[in-house]
Amino acid sequence: MVVEFNGVNIPSDPELENQINDRLSFKKFLGLSFSKPSPDHSTFSRFRSRLSKASMEQIHPVTNCDISDRYF
């Protein structure tokens, strides 16, 4: 799965973890504390594995709308 946020392609869960820890804008969007590290990269894959494909397809457009509404 490739995540794209504000034009940044994030090809893996470890890279997503790194980007969240590196960018204040990501932490702000996610509502995470600036003083604490992001969730471990395995958290993302465990979350996705618990959702069905249909659930992921429903979440994706809503998330994209939320990102667009907040940042564009």
Q: CB of 68 within 8 A of CB of 21?
A: no
Asked whether 16 and 45 are in contact (CB, 8 A), the reply is no
State residue 62's pLDDT score.
57
Note the pLDDT of residue 21.
92
Q: For the chain, what are the domain ranges?
A: 3-71
| Per-residue pLDDT tens digits of the chain, which is 72 residues long | 556 555 667 888 899 899 899 988 888 888 899 999 999 989 988 887 887 778 777 776 655 555 555 555
Predicted local distance difference test score (pLDDT) of residue 67: 53
Nearest to 42 by CA among 19, 69, 14: 14
Q: Which long-range contacts (CB under 8 A, 24 or more apart) does 46-55 make?
A: 48/1
